[in-house]
């Protein structure tokens, strides 16, 4: 008897959620309210993550430029100034 009551309650709850307006469950980004604090915070989060990604990629680029320059100067130092003519 108790199991049947629980199933009816669960079915009624799921039915009620199915007919509930979806705009009540949406966040500020989904409803288009750009002036809400949630939208402002999300924009700051996106900008922060973009800044982190660009910083890491810039560091990788600078490292490879540094390695290439060091390799060029090392290869210039290793070659004799006047190679013998063959």
Quick: pLDDT tens for 17-66. Answer: 778 766 666 666 666 777 878 778 888 999 999 999 999 999 999 999 99
d(Cα 35, Cα 43) in Å, to the nearest integer? 11
Examine residue 71 and state whether it is found in any structural domain, yes or no. yes
Query: Once rounded to an integer, what is the mean pLDDT over residues 63-79?
Result: 85
Residue 31 contacts residue 21 (beta carbons within 8 Å): no
Examine residue 18 and state whether it is found in any structural domain, yes or no. no
Examine residue 38 and state whether it is found in any structural domain, yes or no. yes
What's the predicted TM-score (pTM) here? 0.52
Q: Based on the number of CB atoms within 10 Å of its own CB, is 13 exposed (0-12), middle (13-18) or buried (19 or more)?
A: exposed
**75 — pLDDT class (breaks 50, 70, 90):** confident
Q: Based on the number of CB atoms within 10 Å of its own CB, is 4 exposed (0-12), middle (13-18) or buried (19 or more)?
A: exposed
Examine residue 13 and state whether it is found in any structural domain, yes or no. no
d(Cα 52, Cα 49) in Å, to the nearest integer? 5
Examine residue 67 and state whether it is found in any structural domain, yes or no. yes
Examine residue 48 and state whether it is found in any structural domain, yes or no. yes
Q: What is residue 15's predicted lDDT score, i.e. its pLDDT?
A: 85
Domain that holds residue 39: 28-78
Examine residue 60 and state whether it is found in any structural domain, yes or no. yes
Domain count, the chain: 1
Q: What length does the chain have? A: 86
Examine residue 16 and state whether it is found in any structural domain, yes or no. no
Residue 30 contacts residue 39 (beta carbons within 8 Å): no
């Amino acid at each position: 008897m108790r199991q049947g009551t629980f199933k009816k309650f669960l079915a009624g709850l799921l039915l009620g959620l199915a007919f509930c307006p979806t705009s009540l469950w949406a966040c500020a980004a989904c409803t288009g309210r750009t002036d809400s604090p949630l939208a402002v915070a999300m924009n700051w989060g996106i900008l922060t993550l973009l800044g982190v990604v660009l910083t890491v990629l810039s560091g990788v680029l600078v490292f490879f430029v540094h390695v290439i320059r060091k390799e060029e100067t090392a290869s210039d130092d290793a070659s004799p100034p006047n190679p013998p003519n063959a």
